[in-house]
Structure 1
Amino acid sequence: MNAGSLNSLESAGFVISVVVYRPDRVQLERTLGSLGAACEELRGTRPDLPVALYLIDNGGLDEAPKALESLRAQGVACEIVAGQGNVGYGRGHNLAINMTTSQFHLILNPDIDLDRAALSTGLAFLAAHPEVGLVTPCIDDGEGRRQYLCRRYPTLVDLFVRGFAGATVRRLFARRLARYELRDHINDQDVFWDPPIVSGCFMLFRTEVLKRLHGFDPRYFLYFEDYDLSLRTHEVGRVVYVPSIRVIHHGGGASRKGFAHIRMFGKSAFKFFNRFGWRVW
């Protein structure tokens, strides 16, 4: 780990962690650039809140993103954590969670573009609602289409149809998928309290909640670690969807990433259902 700004990271009130593995450098620069704009907006509302970024390099980063210099110039303490190898998504974030004591912690994917007001809006909501442990945003795909990433508890049928079935089969199961994706509750206007499961691409936590939960379960290498953490969060704090927090997500599902990802998806699903209970239909 680079140690140049270690003290400022440890004392940060708001920590952001991003885990990368062989990242798309153009998209990573865009993500960090949008993060910089959001941090600049946040500084206008919370100038007393020190902000820090941990960029967890699980392999293939090669060189520091140029956007880190812009973030540092804005007063954001930045650190690249490397040398641990590809330890997986959840364990990568846990490295950052375990290193600092902060008020708030953002789990962020490297394929997210943040709205300029996303951080200030999210932290204002947490400040106004002390019972909330985790906030999730309104997520679009970059072409104006909503991504319904809040979920009810899944069944095997839900996961298979949503992740791997063709368009014809998906149309046959459209009503079922809409229920699974909470489309009867998720919109761009109404706050929705206590969605059972939310996406790991943007999870804004009260850090004390993350600490009590010991972060992500390290038994998941990739996939379902966010399902697991969402369900456990309900035990210690409320989870809430806040549509005034807006982000764009450029990520894709396991079926579009090849056989290795499909295999990891299956292994993680097995671990998830073994822990929380199997549901087929």
Structure 2
Amino acid sequence: MIHVAIVSHGHENLLIASGMGGLRDAAADMHVWIKDNHPSPALKAYCLQHGISYTDDKPGLGFGENNNYLFDLISNSVGFAEGDSFIVMNPDITISADTITTLVENMRRDAFPVATINLYRDEQHLYVDANIRRFPNVISLLRMVAVRSLSEPYDKQSMTDACHVDWASGAFLAFDARHYRALQGFDTRYFMYFEDVDICYRSRQLLGKGVRFYPQLHATHTAAHKNRNLVSRHASWFFRSFLKFLSRRYFVYDRRSNLSAPK
């Protein structure tokens, strides 16, 4: 079974208009779960009508904690079977069910438990979304001054075959459910931003499984990029999460990896 987790923050109109990002009428082996952080009677009724699981419990959680909540909800209600997938997907993603099914088939074939696809910023798929990037490090602040980006995006235009990347945006991340559990989900110490960097780093550094990128599989992501306003609350969350990631990378994950490495 493929379980798709979507967290809505007042996105009911978008989700209803897009038919749950294109997944409303997915096959029986795919189930969509909605956590509504701004409870909407219209979204609740829509989900009930179309067989989509809906919850508005515990509104106001951060990105990682919301997705962990849905993972636990699935575990405790229907359970995860061997080979099941857990996919984290933003409400502003539009994708076909066939694309997700193909992604999961490729992940199983390649034996990689965490993966992503090629996101675009427009429906015609002309403008790429920088959803795959290299891990930030201690000199990333210099990069921020120069190009207003703390991490370096890959040149997706030159990538034609499936390959490994450092990390992928939490806008769309696919996990083998057992691997997500082994990672203990997202680190809830991040309220917003860098929890996707963190979980990808932990997957590679602590469990030996990097992120698999499938460039031939496409979806649309109409992102808002609220963190780009340097005086906004989102910018504050962004920079605090960046510093938190650097601290955990160098003083927790790398040390733990070195301690477990063979002598």
TM-score, normalised to structure 2, is 0.80
The question of 1:15 aligning with 2:3 is answered yes
| Counterpart residue type for residue 63 of structure 2 | Y
What's the counterpart of residue 263 of structure 1? 236
Distance 1:205 1:138 in 2: 16
Q: Percent identity over the alignment?
A: 19
What's the counterpart of residue 245 of structure 2? 272
- Asked whether the 8 Å contact 1:32–1:68 carries over to 2, the reply is no
How far did residue 36 of structure 1 move?
2.7
| Counterpart residue type for residue 67 of structure 2 | H
| Counterpart residue type for residue 11 of structure 2 | P
The question of 1:133 aligning with 2:113 is answered yes
| Counterparts of residues 90-101 of structure 1 (less than 5 Å) | 90-99=64-73, 100=75, 101=79
How far did residue 223 of structure 1 move?
0.5
What's the counterpart of residue 10 of structure 1? none
| Counterpart residue type for residue 92 of structure 1 | N
| Counterparts of residues 11-160 of structure 1 (less than 5 Å) | 13-23=1-11, 25-26=13-14, 29-30=17-18, 32-36=20-24, 39=26, 43=27, 49=29, 51-64=30-43, 68=47, 71-72=50-51, 78-99=52-73, 100=75, 101-102=79-80, 103-130=84-111, 132-142=112-122, 144-155=126-137, 158=140
How far did residue 17 of structure 1 move?
0.7
Q: How many residues align?
A: 239
Distance 2:142 2:47 in 1: 39
Residues 1:71 and 1:126: Cα distance change in structure 2 (over 3 Å): farther
Residues 1:21 and 1:232: Cα distance change in structure 2 (over 3 Å): same
Which of 181, 186, 191 matches 2:162? 191
Residues 1:60 and 1:30: Cα distance change in structure 2 (over 3 Å): same
| Counterpart residue type for residue 225 of structure 1 | E
How far did residue 115 of structure 1 move?
3.6
Query: Secondary structure, in 3 states, of the residue corresponding to 2:248?
Result: helix
Query: Secondary structure, in 3 states, of the residue corresponding to 1:87?
Result: coil
- Asked whether the 8 Å contact 1:104–1:206 carries over to 2, the reply is yes
Distance 1:90 1:180 in 2: 23
Residues 1:208 and 1:140: Cα distance change in structure 2 (over 3 Å): same
**What do residues 144-197 of structure 1 show as CA deviations (whole Å, max 9, x unaligned)?**
1111221111146646756xx6xxx53xx9xxx7x92122x664621112x111
| Counterpart residue type for residue 118 of structure 2 | C
Query: Secondary structure, in 3 states, of the residue corresponding to 2:128?
Result: coil
Query: Secondary structure, in 3 states, of the residue corresponding to 1:105?
Result: strand
Distance 1:28 1:161 in 2: 39
* CA RMSD across the alignment: 2.8
Which segments of 5 or more consecutive residues in structure 1 lack a partner in the other structure?
Answer: 1-12, 73-77
What's the counterpart of residue 258 of structure 2? none
Distance 2:46 2:141 in 1: 37
Distance 1:31 1:154 in 2: 36
Which segments of 5 or more consecutive residues in structure 2 lack a partner in the other structure?
Answer: 252-263
TM-score, normalised to structure 1, is 0.75
Distance 1:160 1:28 in 2: 42
How far did residue 244 of structure 1 move?
2.1
Query: Secondary structure, in 3 states, of the residue corresponding to 1:93?
Result: helix
